[in-house]
A and B are shown apart, each in its own frame.
Chain A
């Protein structure tokens, strides 16, 4: 069956360092992958989308990579700040597995804490 794993439930880093979050998947061939940020008591907020034919995408301090051979995406936040503390979710295109367009399959998320 399909499976998505985000490397850890929690990640603690020092302000100014680069945070690296991992999303691994098995038994999928997603056409795209998205990353979302979720704060307590709020819905997820879209950050970045990367397609299967793209190796890397950047937006300000954020960078996402997508390796379809390794079946892995890495999400980086450079020069991290306490305000970056949140849960980060990866989401895969589920349409290849009988789902409809826009049917995203989410990982459990990684809770990032950036200490000052």
Chain B
């Protein structure tokens, strides 16, 4: 596609529900990142994939958060037993290769509200 696509755009969940957020990166991009952005804050790193390999998951806040990219393209971020503090915008980004200094292309994000 022309850009990074994320779905759903908005998600409302009741506390304790599981949610799944989808990211379609730019075709051919090797690297994929997930970031969490709270209101009024900058994005915070969650996890990084190079193709299907999850090379860094140091930013995942708890074991309730799980990400996968099984075929090296589409990625899913899953949050189990959602809590109110999980409410935020979840941003996906991709970059062309595995070089550290490449620019990131971001999607518009999924705004998650946990009630």
Residues of A within 8 A of B (CB): 9, 31-32, 34, 41-46, 49, 51, 89, 91, 93-95, 98-109
Determine the chain A residues whose CB is within 8 A of the CB of B107 once the complex forms. 43
Q: Is the CB of B40 within 8 A of A103?
A: no
Cα separation A31 to B102 with both chains bound (whole Å)? 12
Q: A43-B106, A46-B105, A100-B56 are in contact. Are A106 and B100 (CB under 8 A)?
A: no
Q: Nearest A residue to B93 by beta-carbon distance? A: A43
Q: Is the CB of B91 within 8 A of A43?
A: yes
The A-B contact count (CB < 8 A) is 73
Task: Determine, out of B14-22, B41-49, B69-77, B78-86, the stretch whose residues face the partner at the interface.
Answer: B41-49
By DSSP majority rule, is chain A's interface helix, strand, loop, or mixed? loop
Q: Is the CB of B101 within 8 A of A31?
A: yes
Residues of B within 8 A of A (CB): 4, 31, 33, 35, 40-45, 48, 55-56, 58-59, 91, 93, 95, 98-109
Determine the chain A residues whose CB is within 8 A of the CB of B55 once the complex forms. 100
Cα separation A84 to B104 with both chains bound (whole Å)? 20
Q: Is the CB of B101 within 8 A of A99?
A: no
Cα separation A43 to B94 with both chains bound (whole Å)? 12
Q: Is the CB of A49 within 8 A of B4?
A: no
Determine the chain A residues whose CB is within 8 A of the CB of B99 once the complex forms. 101-102
Determine the chain B residues whose CB is within 8 A of the CB of A45 once the complex forms. 106
Q: Is the CB of A108 within 8 A of B58?
A: no
Q: Is the CB of A94 within 8 A of B45?
A: yes
